[in-house]
Amino acid sequence: MPGMPPVTSGPYRWVAHPNYVVVVVEGVALPLVHTAWVTALVFTVANAALLTVRLRVERRALREAVPA
C-alpha cells in the first residue's frame, strides 16, 4: 500500500521475497522427483532471468511508494 512501511517481521526478516524462494525450490525439486533434471535446469535458468527483471521492478516500485 502506498505510504505504508514494508513488512519486516516473520519470514521477511531474512528474505525480502519469501514466496520467490519457495517457487525456486519447487522449480528444482518437483522435476527432480521424476528425474527430469533437464526440465529442472531449464526452468531454473528461465525463472532466474524472469525473477531478475521482476525483482528489479518491484524494488523500484517499493522505493517510489514508501516515503524515505
50 — pLDDT class (breaks 50, 70, 90)? very high
- In percent, how much of the chain has pLDDT > 90? 53
Whether 11 is covered by a domain: the verdict is: no
67 — pLDDT class (breaks 50, 70, 90)? low
Tally of CA atoms within 13 A in the half-sphere of 59 that contains its CB = 8
Domain region containing 29: 20-65
- Kindly write down the DSSP assignment for every residue of the chain, as one continuous string: -TTSPPP-SGGGGT-S-HHHHHHHHHHHHHHHHTT-HHHHHHHHHHHHHHHHHHHHHHHHHHHHHS--
> Three cell numbers at 10?
516473520
So what's the pLDDT on residue 16? 82
Whether 59 is covered by a domain: the verdict is: yes
Mean pLDDT calculated for residue range 24-45:
93
* Domain count along the chain: 1
